[in-house]
Each structure stands twice: as structure tokens, then as C-alpha cells.
């Protein structure tokens, strides 16, 4: 009788067991999740110049050949991150130039696209600033602005770029302009157009005794 009861109990437990599960066999743990791939971080100086989802770097380099040229040749290159060997030189000083690149940079002018601004300071009493702006189209850098200004400086706000430089109305020497000329250019996604220009007194006027009389025709020096 006891044997019959024991056999009946085992039959009941087998009937209640979940389908596919063998009594006394532990259920294996679920497989571990596959590791998620981590995207390679972009370099801190990476920029998307033409707003197409690809990235580039602006590389400034100085000729280190021996003997080193005097003055040294300085260049700025666009290097696509997906084609490091496909770098393109945007600007390079010539061996005969006495010029200094003043912080080339990528800058947006009111949109997603970023233009390459290359300020170049030429030597001489006029301390001429040559301002070059390039647009990257994915394979080449196209020049969209080239202007010069003696004792020049530049600034940008939104879609506008302002170039300030000396203007000589009284035949004063290059070192000591009486007035400055502000020229403001506006970017329309295709080109820079002159939006405004205005003359203002230079501060300070180094030779104020020359800053009076009948002005001569407008004269702004150009690089020699």
C-alpha cells in the first residue's frame, strides 16, 4: 500500500512539472548580452566645414627642412578625417614673403557651413593685413574673399565680417593714419557683398598736426 502511494505521488509531481523541464536539472542562465561597439571620438579640432556630416581638421605647419628657409614657409591645410592622406593646402607663404599667419580658423557666418578665415600679416611700415576667406566644397577650397588693410584688424558677428584699416586723406605717412575705414561684408551663403563702409578718426592720432586741411582722394595702400 505504501509503495502504491509513493508511486502515485511521483506521477503527480511529473504531471505538474512545466513542459520541457526535466526534474532535478537546473535551468541554464540566459546568455550575456553582446558588448556594444563604442564610436571613435572625434578630435577636439574636428570641424564639419561644408555641413555634409563628414569632418575635417585645419593643420598649420611650418617648414622644418634644413637649412630652414628665411623667413620660414608656413602653410594651412584641410585634412579630411576619412582621408588623412588627401589633405589639401589652402594657403602657403612664399619663401620671399615676410608674413605671419594670424590664427587661421573655421567660422560659421549665420549657417551650418563654416568658412576658413586666413589672416596674413605682411611686414612693413603699413603693417598690412591681408584677409583671405575660403569655402570648402568637399574636394577643394574656393576663395570667396580677399581684402587688405593697413594697420588692419577684423571681426565677425553673425553673417557679417568687418575689416578695419587705415585710410590716408592728408598724405600722412603710413605709420600714422589720421582716419580708419570700416568695411563690412555680408555673407549670403554664396558670396560676400559690401554692406557698409564708414570713415572714423583714428585713436590716437599720432601726428594730429597733419590731420587737417583739404583731404586728398581716398588712398589705401596695397601689398608690394
pLDDT confidence of residue 224: 41
In this prediction, the residues of the chain whose per-residue pLDDT falls under 50 are: 1-14, 21, 223-224
pLDDT confidence of residue 36: 61
pLDDT confidence of residue 217: 60
pLDDT confidence of residue 218: 57
Query: What pTM did the predictor assign?
Result: 0.74
Give residue 20's region: left, alpha or beta (phi > 0; psi -120 to 50): left
pLDDT confidence of residue 126: 67
pLDDT confidence of residue 119: 93
pLDDT confidence of residue 69: 66
Amino acid at each position: 500500500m505504501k509503495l502504491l502511494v509513493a508511486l502515485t505521488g511521483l506521477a503527480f509531481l511529473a504531471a505538474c512539472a512545466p513542459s520541457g523541464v526535466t526534474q532535478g536539472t537546473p535551468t541554464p542562465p540566459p546568455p550575456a548580452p553582446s558588448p556594444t561597439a563604442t564610436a571613435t571620438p572625434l578630435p577636439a579640432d574636428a570641424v564639419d566645414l561644408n555641413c555634409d556630416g563628414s569632418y575635417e581638421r585645419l593643420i598649420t605647419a611650418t617648414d622644418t627642412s634644413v637649412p630652414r628657409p628665411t623667413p620660414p614657409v608656413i602653410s594651412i591645410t584641410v585634412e579630411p578625417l576619412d582621408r588623412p592622406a588627401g589633405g589639401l593646402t589652402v594657403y602657403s607663404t612664399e619663401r620671399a614673403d615676410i608674413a605671419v599667419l594670424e590664427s587661421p580658423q573655421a567660422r560659421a557666418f549665420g549657417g551650418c557651413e563654416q568658412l576658413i578665415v586666413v589672416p596674413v600679416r605682411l611686414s612693413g611700415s603699413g603693417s598690412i593685413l591681408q584677409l583671405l576667406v575660403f569655402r570648402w566644397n568637399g574636394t577643394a577650397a574656393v576663395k570667396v574673399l580677399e581684402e587688405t588693410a593697413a594697420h588692419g584688424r577684423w571681426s565677425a558677428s553673425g553673417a557679417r565680417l568687418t575689416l578695419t584699416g587705415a585710410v590716408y586723406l592728408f598724405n600722412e605717412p603710413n605709420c600714422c593714419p589720421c582716419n580708419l575705414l570700416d568695411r563690412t561684408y555680408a555673407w549670403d551663403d554664396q558670396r560676400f557683398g559690401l554692406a557698409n563702409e564708414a570713415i572714423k578718426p583714428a585713436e590716437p592720432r599720432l601726428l594730429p598736426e597733419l590731420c587737417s586741411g583739404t583731404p586728398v582722394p581716398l588712398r589705401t595702400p596695397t601689398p608690394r
